[in-house]
Amino acid sequence: MTAPEVSVVIPAFNEAAYLPRYLPTVTAALRHWEHLSGAVGEIVVVDNASTDQTAAVACSLGARVVSEPVRSIGRVRNTGARTALGRYLFFTDADVALPLEAIAACVTAMAHGPCVGGAIPPLYTPARFAAQLLCALWDAYRTRTGGAQGVAQFCTRAAFQEVGGYRPDLFMSEDVEFFARLTAHGQRTAQPVRILDELRVRPSTRRYDQWPAWRMWWWQNPVTARLALSSPRFWRHWYQSTVR
């Protein structure tokens, strides 16, 4: 059997209802790259102690499922990367729709860059005006700081190992912190990260649509996202009462 060149890593906690809607877009993007390259890839779903049928649904949709019982998003991403077989890693979430060209564009950037990795920016389309303003704030913040969310980050396996992966002790903003280290590594090695601004991934807007405006603005702003990042108690709502 041919070894995968690309591994897509997807953390998942109680995502049985969302996987059938979003995982097919990941599969389509992977198949598109396979058709163009003649190589093969894999999708690794990391079941993070789900209490629903997440693992069974992921398997039925063609993903390889591994388990990580500890509720820590950084640890979950690292578990997926550790079991992945590809030399290129693409991290996304279970409720994110990828454009067809996503995987191909990321691999091209890394293979012909030179580039240690990068990200595809998200396009959120919440229904409420308060949520639209918050998303606009985040877009401006990311543009100014050069950061990137974990909804679509990619890197070479070598770079991932060199920077030490995601920090498992962070319960929030582990993706931003990882990308900062990846960016620094790319600068040191003359292989800068790339933000693929010509593309957009489309995450679900479930939190924006279901949370009250005050809760959105308190928990999902650039200031709060830096507070008590190692405290499971402070961020317990993100893990224990996540909107599904």
Query: What CA–CA distance (Å, rounded) separates 119 from 115?
Result: 11
For 174, other C-beta atoms within 10 Å of its C-beta total: 23
pLDDT tens track for 175-213:
999 999 999 999 999 999 999 999 999 999 998 999 898
pLDDT tens track for 84-116:
999 999 999 999 999 999 999 999 999 998 999
* Helix-strand-coil split of the chain, %, nearest 5: 45, 15, 40
Domains of the chain: 6-240 (3.90.550.10)
Cross-strand partners of 122: 201
pLDDT tens track for 29-81:
999 999 999 999 999 999 999 999 999 999 999 999 999 999 999 999 999 99
pLDDT greater than 70 at residue 8? yes
Query: What CA–CA distance (Å, rounded) separates 59 from 77?
Result: 18
Query: What CA–CA distance (Å, rounded) separates 110 from 166?
Result: 19
